[in-house]
Chain A
Amino acid sequence: MSMGKNRELMGANTQPVSVVGSGARTVVRLDPKVRGKVAASLASASETQFPDHVYLNLENVRGVRDAHVLSVYINLPEGGRPGDHPELLAGSVALFGLRRASRKDGEHAGQGLSFTLDITDIVDALHLGKQLNADSLHVTIVPNRAVPEQAEITIGRVSVYRQGQ
């Protein structure tokens, strides 16, 4: 997905994420100043003044097995069932081409695949529920079926970007 101009990093996690078994969970730490810009744009949104767009990126997704689909949830409660919270679903990404993109001497030079999900609506809901003041977002990755360890699926970085209007 192309995100246009005036984009800046809003937050990122600190360690690569390994997706094994029933999924993975990571914390995306947010920069307070940039988070404040997003909150301000949401508060002042009107028909003529559009709020910021917010995107979640899964960067450098690598692995040796293609046949998985990862669903990404924002702030899913610990122990909560993903199916009970469709409003927290950021999107799903299919890992077709993952193995080939992860080869160091392939066309992607081993960088793997990167995905961008629009989470503006979720962030807006958090803002309306006064939950955007938190320092971080909890991101839960849920595969469509259990991921074996041999699949070696890792996500280099989970980051959040804002795009000003």
Chain B
Amino acid sequence: MPADSSELTRVSKLVFAASGFAWLLMLGPTGLSMTHCPMQESGALAPVDALQMFLAMNSLGPLCVGWAVMLAAMMLPLLTTPIAHVRYSSFRHRRNRATALLLLGYCGIWMLAGAVLLPLAAVAGMSVPGSSWWIAALAALAITVVWQASPARQICINRAHNHRALAAFGFAADLDAFRFGLEHGFWCAGSCWGLMLLPMLLPSGHVAAMIVAAVLMFCERLEPAAPPAWRFHGIAPLRRILLTRMRRWLHRPVPMRPPPPPFAPEMRP
């Protein structure tokens, strides 16, 4: 059931404010950072050695916090519609609880994804000498570009758009909200893992790369579901929305399609 526009607006403001706060934290000490072995500067490490080095030099707590902050910054704007759906589908006194359960399920999936992506980024980065970081980054970019355009990824996006009906009462309502979060997180991770991995492979400019990735992911979610096919997604939906809002703000008419020509029946001689 599509949420009403006023609930959507309320949720959007809160979500973007929380995301903005997380971006500020990303620039501070709680931002995600991974320590690498200095010896890697002179030569590549074997993947197993790289993984062992990564686990030895990076403790779990700060990694989890950094990953969670990165998730909040980049992924919260994508949760506007699911959060509005859950809130609109719940009784007023259960809305906050349903939202928390949705976020718990969603973040749970993404934390598991982080347990795979973070070591993967470290191993990929340490498998090449420090001066040749671009090899790993280029390889990841190529894989990400192919995945971004693939029909399989479109299927993940389509499933993420599916907001099914939720139970309203009791434990069934709690379970449904949590399961909805798990399902949404699963399909979201399936569609966005590449764009989350790529910035971590850069030696610098992580935040700028994350901003670009976050904007791309947000723009994709603005588009409706589509038949799976090879296609590139860009920032066209965001551009359309911004242009339409700008025109309305400037009180200019939004261009409409020209009306069809009037029907003129044939005149018999």
Bound-state CA distance A60–B85 (Å) is 13
Give which listed residue, A4, A14, A106, A159, contacts B227 with CB less than 8 A.
A106
Using a CB-CB cutoff of 8 Å, which residues 220-248 of chain B contact chain A?
224-228
Q: List 30 A-B contacts (CB under 8 A).
A: A2-B4, A2-B5, A7-B4, A7-B88, A9-B89, A9-B90, A12-B167, A12-B168, A14-B168, A16-B165, A29-B169, A31-B91, A34-B91, A60-B1, A60-B164, A104-B158, A105-B158, A105-B226, A105-B227, A107-B224, A107-B226, A109-B158, A109-B159, A109-B225, A110-B158, A111-B162, A114-B2, A157-B166, A157-B168, A159-B89
Bound-state CA distance A3–B228 (Å) is 34
Using a CB-CB cutoff of 8 Å, which residues 32-73 of chain A contact chain B?
33-34, 57, 59-60
Bound-state CA distance A148–B5 (Å) is 37
Closest-by-CB residue of A relative to B168 is A12
CB-based contact B165/A157 at 8 Å: yes
CB-based contact A114/B1 at 8 Å: yes
B92 in the interface, Cβ–Cβ < 8 Å?
A: yes
List the 5 closest A-B pairs by CB distance, nearest first: A156-B165, A157-B165, A109-B161, A109-B225, A12-B168
B179 in the interface, Cβ–Cβ < 8 Å?
A: no
11 new A-B contacts, CB < 8 A, other than A12-B167, A14-B169, A157-B1, are A7-B7, A11-B168, A14-B168, A104-B158, A105-B225, A106-B225, A108-B224, A109-B158, A109-B159, A110-B162, A157-B165
Bound-state CA distance A157–B5 (Å) is 20
Using a CB-CB cutoff of 8 Å, which residues 1-30 of chain A contact chain B?
2-5, 7-9, 11-12, 14, 16, 29
CB-based contact A111/B163 at 8 Å: yes
Using a CB-CB cutoff of 8 Å, which residues 1-50 of chain B contact chain A?
1-2, 4-7
- B-contact 0/1 string along A63-93, CB 8 Å cutoff: 0000000000000000000000000000000
For B168, the chain A residues whose CB sits under 8 A away are 9, 11-12, 14, 29, 157, 159
CB-based contact B226/A3 at 8 Å: no
B112 in the interface, Cβ–Cβ < 8 Å?
A: no
Q: A105-B227, A106-B225, A108-B225 are in contact. Are A9 and B92 (CB under 8 A)?
A: yes
In the complex, what's the smallest C-beta–C-beta distance from A94 to chain B, in angstroms?
18
Bound-state CA distance A60–B164 (Å) is 7
For A57, the chain B residues whose CB sits under 8 A away are 1
Give which listed residue, A3, A104, A157, contacts B162 with CB less than 8 A.
A104
For A156, the chain B residues whose CB sits under 8 A away are 164-165
Query: Which of A60, A104, A105, A107: most chain B Cβ within 10 A?
Result: A105
CB-based contact A12/B169 at 8 Å: yes
B172 in the interface, Cβ–Cβ < 8 Å?
A: yes
CB-based contact A5/B161 at 8 Å: no
For A105, the chain B residues whose CB sits under 8 A away are 154-155, 158, 225-228
The number of A-B residue pairs with CB atoms under 8 Å apart is: 81
Closest-by-CB residue of A relative to B5 is A2
CB-based contact B161/A59 at 8 Å: no
In the complex, what's the smallest C-beta–C-beta distance from A13 to chain B, in angstroms?
8
Closest-by-CB residue of B relative to A61 is B165
- A-contact 0/1 string along B136-172, CB 8 Å cutoff: 0000000000000000001100110111111111001
In the complex, what's the smallest C-beta–C-beta distance from B235 to chain A, in angstroms?
20
CB-based contact B227/A60 at 8 Å: no
In the complex, what's the smallest C-beta–C-beta distance from B31 to chain A, in angstroms?
34
- B-contact 0/1 string along A83-127, CB 8 Å cutoff: 000000000000000000000111111110010000000000000
Bound-state CA distance A156–B88 (Å) is 15
CB-based contact A60/B165 at 8 Å: yes
For A157, the chain B residues whose CB sits under 8 A away are 1, 89, 165-166, 168
For B225, the chain A residues whose CB sits under 8 A away are 105-110
Bound-state CA distance A8–B6 (Å) is 12
